[in-house]
Amino acid sequence: MSKKISFDDFLKQQQSSAQQQGYRNGPGSNYQYNQGFQADPNSYQNYQAYDPSQYQYNPNQYQYNPNAQSFNFHSPQYDGTPGPESGVSSGVSTPNAYSSTASLASLNTALNKLSVDSPLAENLAALQSVAKISEARKEAEAIASKVVAQPSMKVVEEWKLLEVLKSLSKPKNSPIVRESALLIVQQLALKLGGNSPKEAHLLPFIGSVFDLFTDKDKNIVKAAKQTIDTLYGTFPVEALGSVFFDELVAYLKSSAKWNSKLPALAIFDKLVEEVPADLLEMKFITGVPVLTDLATDFKPELASQGLKSLKKFVKVLDNLDLQNKYDLIVDTLADPRKVPECIKNLSSVTFVAEVTEPALSLLVPILDKSLKMSSSSNDQLRQTVTVTENLTRLVNNKREIESYIPILLPGVEKVVNNASLPEVRELGAKALHVLKEAESEQTDGKFHGRISIEQAAALYRENLSDDLKEISQQLLSCEIEASYLEIILQVDANVNDWKRLAEYLALALESVDADEELKQKYAHEVLHNVKEMFADRTQSSNEDDDGAVEIVNTDFSLAYGSRMLLNKTTLRLLKGHRYGLCGRNGAGKSTLMRAISKGQLEGFPSPDELRTCFVEHRLQGEEGDMDLVSFIASDPELSSVSREDISSALKQVGFPDERLEQHVGSLSGGWKMKLELARAMLMKADILLLDEPTNHLDVANVRWLQNYLVENTEITSLIVSHDSGFLDAVCTDIIHYENKKLAYYKGNLSEFVKVKPEGKSYYTLTDSMVKMAFPPPGILSGVKSITRAIARMSHVTFAYPGAAKPSLKDVSCSLSLSSRVAIVGPNGAGKSTLIKLLTGELVPNEGKVEKHPNLRIGYIAQHALQHVEQHKEKTANQYLQWRYRFGDDREVLLKESRKISEEEKEIMAKLIDVGDGQGPRMIEALVGRQKLKKSFQYEVKWRHFLPKYNSWLSREFLIEEGFGKLIQKFDDHEASREGLGYRELTPPVIRKHFEDVGLDGDIADHTPMGSLSGGQLVKVVIAGAMWNNPHLLVLDEPTNYLDRDSLGGLAVAIRDWSGGVVMISHNNEFVGALCPEQWHVENGEVVQKGTAAVDSGKFADDSKEGTPVPEVKKRSDDNDSPADIKVRTRKKKMTRNEKKAQAERRRLRHIEWLSSPKGTPKPVDTDDEEE
């Protein structure tokens, strides 16, 4: 037996004679082969030392160079049969160490089997004999040119071009032949680019190109990459997001090799980056399951890349509720062991954003697994069915959920029937009911905002003018291209991208042989028919204009930061119409109006054509010292207006002469709004943009504004308001935010609710969407009756410095834990001043303000932002930690009544003698407090004296000596300490507190307050005010920044809270539902109205309309000073004789009752001798 050699040694021997055998890899070669063995069929047949089993020959590694010898492909030597002198085989049909890998006879056979009679036969034969890549490229271009030159691209299928290319790209063919297959695809893609819809015929080639990424020859891989990039660039964006995406996903789902799926994932990532998000969101239902499977593949390289691609794809979804949960959701999809953790996280999310099909495609698999897992605990099942119910309720368009109802129903039904805990079964029944409702709604036969492929096909063919039939037939003559066009129309229509659809129709019609006008007419009619299908959903009629002039009609998108607020929607405004903008907080209503006012809205007419004025609360701090006329004159747009015209405009909106001299900073909120309206009048705006115009306006001024808007029929108005009554009185149309689109409804808010019942939340106060819960007030020592006075003003007079007359004079009032008081009155009457005096922010000029020493007040100011404007860089969680870090409420320490003046500092620095023999001393601090008869005494630490020399001094003595501020500060500290005794100032506890008042925990933890909306900031302020369990909640215009859902949550929270509430609000609906008592402030006087019945019918729950507030019998000591805490003396124990006398009295009373006429009420036994 001959000696065996290693394969490496064998290769070295062959490389030394490479030039003799035709191996070329020098600079003169056009095709660069990989280094490797180049075999000659005849050279090594008698090489006895070679053993094929030893070397495990790979046919892709050893590549035949056709330049080495000249072959006659039709000679008997290469017909696939062994030659007579060959000891093994011919070396042609079966690749081995002696043969060429270019099995040309086999290639011939494969091509002949296709039996295609086409003009390409000659070029394909030439490809088999090319020696250089440049020659192959020339033949590939010739093949592509012949294909494209045909009148119809059906020849791609008729000539079986895909099968031909598959034959060319088989591994046993030479590298140059394999690459020629890719060159043909490249040339076809280049020639068909821009000739839409002909590129549809290239879709089946995508998978074959990816298969060649597994080729051992690096040049083939490089060519495959170039080819797939060329193919990618051939398709329009609609096709990339639809048919190309589907081909890509189908390939990733197939049994293709893992190393060919990796480049497919790279193209997928590129597609995710470049295709608009709204197109990709439509593909979540097919893409997410496939990527999830790849993320769990056995091949670690593929699994790792699959997980990365899935995370990238998921982040396309714009859902504020889930934004911080994407990584957890993806990890859970890839690893079912994380389902319990994910469900627990989802159960803590307050879902408010609209739920769409993409969001469901992520969450439903997790919910389904949780419902069907045998290891799911009752607590996990409870959380799962709750999340299922909440998600289903937030699905606006039931078409979004129709694919998932069959998945969720069995699991929820199983919980309803089999859960061990009644509570879980009850929650499951609720979720089941909501799912059944959604199921019935999606089969109601109505149009739910998406067209099917059948409807898309009909739109190309039906409801067209007779002269357009021929164009339709030409355009759709090829079945493959027709199907492709239908998908693109369906995709663009379902995302309402009319502009992109119009552009694509114009491109597709270029290949049609017809008059240009007819082609434009065809595109217009198809587009019109598509829009008509969606018109019922948006209620936007382009025909029924009542003769009004159209002043705006533009398609646009609107984003804020990374969030898409409005996506490819239409803004259409008619002259003289008044539009109410309705939508949830954060939907982008104010952002839209601000974009219009700044000229940032795409397609909106320029200021030269259309003047707009944004009316909002925009006063800056530096402008507060300007008088009213100067303030308006400082506007650059009004530089040409005279001061006389400005004065005249101010008088028109109700400013008296004496107010014109006032500084802007001294105006109340209502007057500031009227100042902005005067500015708008002077600008002679065509469009008024009104952002919460009724905020701070009293009833009379709201009526004035209503009349002004209704009477000026030349002015178009866009109004954002939470005042449903105002919208009803003013609006001619409602624009509603629906799934990032603007939907139009004729009529006012009442008419809108008839069409859209969910809009009823604009009328009723409900916490169904936003729940708020306030902590119960702490115990107030000595106060055992909720009607006892805990704060009181007596004969108080107050005037601002420099004011001609006092804001309040001789005012007396009191508050208790049962108080529900609304302070009402015209703008500038002194309502906020009264509140500030009660809370201690202002100090009265005359009279006194008393309150219980331990009373804690939660205060929300008229301009809520003043609480947090100094902390914009902090998150809400950090702000609360800062505010209560040292045990005291730092906001309280900033009040005017707590600041010690220079004069008071001098008084407190004096030496006092308390008569204890220690002589005159200076007080250093108050360190303790205890009850003393009807008042308190305080432990005084003396300066330069040890604590053992501390003295106890009465409250009255210290106040008389001028230490009132020191006492107040100590009382605040004690009250705050008592309130915070039950609270841990740790981030998790603070997060839960914010969630209780309706603010998302992730926003509280991670979002700086400078980035929060007005409604979210109000929730931060409410949470801050309620942290130390206050006894009294003071709200100054609480409705100004809250949307309807948040307003309902606040109303229910106030109604159910057991502390006292005082509020200023011009929102009659809000006040009427909560406050039975009203204080009218006018001309510096306060008139207290008697108790009235609250209008509980304003609430959406089952409370009865007009239920009066239960009256609590007042005790005789309820009106005493709040500082005079009375302690009831213990009841004296009765002697034996006294007990006998009591029994006798009761017996005689009973006998007297028995002898009385029928119907006499039975006397009550009492221990009081007089009764």
Q: Is residue 688 domain-shared with residue 561, that is, in the same domain?
A: yes
Whether residue 796 has pLDDT greater than 70? yes
Same domain? 461 vs 392: no
Strand order in the sheet with 612-615: 612-615, 687-691, 716-720, 578-582, 733-738, 741-746
Rounded to whole angstroms, how far apart are CA atoms 995 and 978?
23
Whole-number pLDDT of residue 44: 35
DSSP annotation of 446 = -
- Paired with 940 in beta bridges are 926, 951
- Pick the range with the lowest mean pLDDT from 622-626, 809-813, 997-1001: 622-626
Residue 279 lies in a domain: yes
Tokens linked to 1107: 């239920």
What are the CA-CA distances from residue 666 to residues 693, 831, 859 (Å)? 19, 14, 21
Q: Is the pLDDT of residue 41 over 80?
A: no
Distance CA 525, CA 503 (A): 14
Identify the CA nearest to 586 among candidates 610, 566, 609: 566
CA 689 – CA 579 distance, rounded (Å):
10
SS (H, E, C) 778-794: CCCCCCCCCCCEEEEEE
Rounded to whole angstroms, the Cα distance separating 28 from 15 reads: 19
Distance CA 670, CA 765 (A): 24
Angle, alpha carbons 142-146-147 (nearest 5°): 120
Q: Which percentage of the chain shows pLDDT scores above 70?
A: 77
> How buried is residue 954: exposed, middle or buried, by Cβ count under 10 Å (0-12/13-18/19+)?
middle
Opening angle at CA 320, ends 317 and 326, nearest 5: 55
**Does residue 120 fall inside a structural domain?**
no
Q: Could you give the percent of the chain with pLDDT greater than 90?
A: 11
* Same-domain check for residues 696 and 841: no
- Measured CA to CA, the distance from residue 500 to residue 509 in angstroms comes to 14
Rounded average pLDDT over 765-774: 69
- How far apart are the C-alpha atoms of 64 and 40, rounded to whole Å? 8
Strand order in the sheet with 808-816: 808-816, 789-798, 846-851
Residues 6+ apart with CB under 8 A from 836: 842
Confidence bin at 545 (pLDDT 50/70/90): low
DSSP string of 474-500, one letter each residue? HHT-SHHHHHHHHHHHHHHHHTT-HHH
Q: How many independent structural domains does the chain possess?
A: 7
**What is the spatial distance between Cα 347 and Cα 336, in angstroms, rounded to a whole number?**
17
| DSSP annotation string for 121-159 | HHHHHHHTT--SHHHHHHHHHHHHHHHHHSSSTTHHHHT
pLDDT at position 365: 92
Are residues 719 and 570 both part of a single domain?
A: yes
Which DSSP string corresponds to 289-344?
HHHHHHHT-SSHHHHHHHHHHHHHHHTT---TTTGGGHHHHHHHHH-GGGHHHHHH
Q: In the prediction, which pLDDT does 83 show?
A: 38
Question: At 848, phi and psi to the nearest 5?
Answer: -140, 150
Mean pLDDT within 623-630 = 74
> How would residue 330 be classed by pLDDT, with cut points 50, 70 and 90?
very high
pLDDT digits (tens, 9 = 90+) for 569-579: 888 899 889 99
Q: Is the pLDDT of residue 293 over 90?
A: yes
Q: Answer for the pair 424, 370: CB distance below 8 angstroms, yes or no.
A: no
Residue pair 815/1031 in contact (Cβ under 8 Å)? The answer is no
Q: Is 259 within a domain? A: yes
Residue 1143 forms part of a structural domain:
yes
Across 477-505, average pLDDT: 87
User: In the prediction, which pLDDT does 213 show?
Assistant: 92
Q: Write the DSSP assignment of 850-908 as a string of letters.
A: EE-TT--EEEE-SSGGGGTGGGTTSBHHHHHHHHHTTSS-HHHHTSGGGSPPHHHHHHH
pTM of structure: 0.56
Predicted pLDDT at 55:
35
Predicted confidence (pLDDT) per residue in 691-705, tens digit = 878 776 777 778 888
Return the CATH number at 565.
3.40.50.300
Mode of pairing for the β-strands spanning 935-942 and 923-932:
antiparallel
Rounded average pLDDT over 977-983: 59
In this predicted structure, the answer to whether residue 178 has a pLDDT above a threshold of 80 is yes
Is the domain of 439 the same as that of 491? no
The residue range of the domain holding 701 is 550-762
Last residue of a domain, one of 389, 418, 444: 444
Residues 728, 605 share a domain:
yes
Q: Which of 12-26, 837-851, 992-1006 has the lowest mean pLDDT?
A: 12-26
Pairing of strands 716-720, 563-574: unpaired
Rg (C-alpha) for the chain, rounded Å, is 42
The residues, ordered by sequence, that sit 6+ positions from 294 with a Cβ below 8 Å of its Cβ are: 252, 261, 265, 302, 303, 305, 306, 309, 310
Question: From CA 1074, how far away is CA 1088, in angstroms rounded?
Answer: 16
Confidence of residue 265 (pLDDT cuts 50, 70, 90): very high
**569 - beta bridge partners?**
556
Residues 6+ apart with CB under 8 A from 957: none
Q: What is the pLDDT of residue 639?
A: 76
CB atoms within 10 A of CB 910: 11
Measured CA to CA in angstroms, residue 674 lies from 305, 654, 698, 846 at distances of: 60, 8, 11, 33
Q: Which of 1-5, 594-598, 840-844, 1086-1090 has the highest mean pLDDT?
A: 594-598
Strand partners, 612: 687
Instruction: List for the chain the helix, strand, coil content (%; round to 5).
Output: 50, 10, 40
Are both 659 and 698 inside the same structural domain? yes
Q: How confident is the model at residue 86 (pLDDT cuts 50, 70, 90)?
A: very low
Q: What is the pLDDT of residues 95-136, one digit of tens each?
A: 433 333 444 555 556 555 555 556 788 888 888 778 888 888
Q: Is the pLDDT of residue 266 over 90?
A: yes
Residue 342: CB atoms within 10 A of its CB come to: 22
Does the pLDDT value for residue 938 go beyond 80?
yes
Residue 615 lies in a domain: yes
The region of weakest confidence among 507-511, 759-763, 1011-1015 is 759-763
Give yes or no: residues 376 and 520 share one domain.
no
- Residues 567 and 602 reside in one and the same domain: yes
Q: How sure is the predictor about 618, in pLDDT bands with cuts at 50, 70 and 90? A: low
Arithmetic mean of pLDDT, 1074-1100? 73
Confidence of residue 624 (pLDDT cuts 50, 70, 90): low
The pLDDT value given to residue 93:
36
pLDDT by residue (tens digit) across 510-540?
888 888 888 888 888 888 888 888 765 544 4
Q: Which of 173, 185, 71, 179 is nearest to 129 (CA)?
A: 71
Confidence of residue 414 (pLDDT cuts 50, 70, 90): confident
Q: How far apart are CA 229 and CA 244, in angstroms?
A: 12
Question: Do 1054 and 947 fall into the same domain?
Answer: no
Q: Quick one: how far is CA 996 from the chain centroid? A: 19
Identify whether residues 567 and 518 lie together within a single domain.
no
CA distance 786 to 1118: 9
Please report whether residue 43 resides in a domain: no
Q: Which of 371-380, 429-438, 611-620, 737-746 has the lowest mean pLDDT?
A: 611-620
Residue 60 has pLDDT above 50, yes or no: no
Residue 557 vs residue 313, higher pLDDT: 313
Please indicate, yes or no, if residue 86 is contained in any of the structural domains.
no
**Residue 914 belongs to domain with CATH number:** 2.40.50.40
What integer pLDDT is reported at residue 1097 of this predicted model? 53
Is pLDDT of 25 > 50?
A: no
Confidence of residue 1158 (pLDDT cuts 50, 70, 90): confident
- The pair of three-digit structure tokens given for residue 726, joined into one six-digit string: 């105002």
pLDDT at 1048: 77
- Classified as helix, coil or strand, 770 is coil
**What confidence score (pLDDT) does residue 114 get?**
53
pLDDT of residue 85: 36
CA 692 to CA 683: how far, in whole Å?
20
Q: Are 609 and 674 within one domain?
A: yes
User: How does residue 357 score in pLDDT terms, banded at 50, 70 and 90?
Assistant: confident
Q: Is residue 545 part of a domain?
A: no
- Domain boundary, last residue among 412, 444, 476: 444
pLDDT for 540 = 46
The CA distance from 218 to 25, in Å, is: 14
